[in-house]
Amino acid sequence: MKIFIDIGHPAHVHYFRNFIKLMMAKGHQFFISSREKECTAELLESYGLPFYSRGKGRNGIVGKLMYMLKADRMLYRKAKQFKPDVFLSFVSPYAAQVAWFMKKPHITFDDTEHANLARKFYQPFTKTIFTPYCFKKELGSQQVRFNGFMELCYLHPTYFKPDPSIYSILNLAPGEEFVLLRFVSFKANHDIGQSGLDLETKKKIIERLKGKYRIFISSEGKMPEEMLPYKINIPANRMHDVLAFATLFIGEGATMASECAMMGTPAIYVNTLDAGTLQEQEKLGLIYGFRNSSGVLQKIEELLSLPNLKIEFGKRSADMRKKMVDPTAMLINYFGKLNQ
């Protein structure tokens, strides 16, 4: 089988990399197209996955619509050369539309209820939409719910074992406690008009933590001058080791908060955007969600005062994983039936 995958975000590399490797071992062929966003290219290269770049995309509604026409043309030309049997993505309107033009099925995952714009442009052209069981929207006959989270595609214990050599890369003593902060740019189409931590609270968090913990900051956009000394500098494919060993995660990024939930790292998520997966993880006591900065400092104090914090959250995460499926294995099984 020949499978065309479109990648729009670094997280999508992780969603599909194990699927690609396992399917290639079975003799299937892949063409990967990718948007130039953050460390996406670095990740694909680090996993030995050749790809075609479709450019950086654009900001704003009009810009994104203009880019969609351009990307569709680019990917259609590549697909005509590759001749795929099926298209696969995470909410990619480009993959969906090109699949429709070529009269081929498009399979997608979706766990982002507020990605309404992308959904308008992919759903009419899609055969199957896989969503986590806690996804809040009903998408009709195309929807297939699965008992799991997207992050288990790569953080399921079958695929991921935290590597303690990350302490050396971070210039830390083995077991030294540290906190990771994550700031986002709010430029994605579903982020327009949204917000997270205010600058004053970011400064207060750093002031509160810097005496006892090493602090690292991962940021999509430009950081204030006074925060630059905390900027994390690691290979992109080692971020999950950082999250796994962190004492605490505080950030505006939903993906990293969910990744922490899979690995037993307590996470504080601050963003006006919410999602069914985040609400479910909060119910399970794995993350704590805030719509703005109010109450964040108090929650930090509360968590850091708990004895055996990492041990407790590790147990909660392990209990959750026992009840979930391996989404990669599920997808391989689905494609096996599709190929019959």
User: Using DSSP, how many helices (H) and how many strands (E) does the chain show?
Assistant: 14, 12
Strands 267-270 and 214-219: unpaired
> Average pLDDT in the 63-77 region?
94
pLDDT higher at 117 or 130: 130
> Average pLDDT in the 241-269 region?
97
The pLDDT of residue 289 is above 90: yes
pLDDT one-digit tens code per residue, 176-231: 999 999 998 645 544 444 567 999 999 999 999 998 999 999 998 888 899 999 99
> Average pLDDT in the 238-256 region?
96
Q: What is the pLDDT of residue 199?
A: 92
Please, what is the average pLDDT of the chain? Answer: 94
Look-up of token digits 């590759």: 82
Strands (E), the chain: 2-7, 29-34, 52-53, 86-90, 106-109, 128-132, 143-146, 178-183, 214-219, 248-251, 267-270, 287-290
Q: What is the pLDDT of residue 191?
A: 46
Share above pLDDT 90 across residues of the chain, in percent, rounded to a whole number: 88
pLDDT one-digit tens code per residue, 99-113: 999 999 999 999 999
User: DSSP labels for 290-312?
Assistant: ESSSTTHHHHHHHHHTSTTHHHH
Q: Which domains does the chain have, with CATH numbers?
A: 2-148+325-338 (3.40.50.2000), 166-322 (3.40.50.2000)
Q: What is the pLDDT of residue 222?
A: 86
The pLDDT of residue 87 is above 60: yes
Share above pLDDT 70 across residues of the chain, in percent, rounded to a whole number: 96
Q: Is the pTM of this model over 0.85?
A: yes
> Average pLDDT in the 256-281 region?
96
pLDDT one-digit tens code per residue, 135-182: 999 999 999 999 999 999 999 999 999 999 999 999 999 999 999 999
Look-up of token digits 């966003």: 37
Q: What is the pLDDT of residue 192?
A: 45
Q: What is the pLDDT of residue 229?
A: 96
Residues in Cβ contact with 276 at an 8 Å cutoff, skipping those fewer than 6 apart:
111, 113, 132, 134, 135, 136
Q: What is the pLDDT of residue 195?
A: 65
Q: What is the pLDDT of residue 186?
A: 47
Considering Cα of 257, then 313, then 159, then 106, what sign does the dihedral take? Answer: negative
Q: What is the pLDDT of residue 194?
A: 54
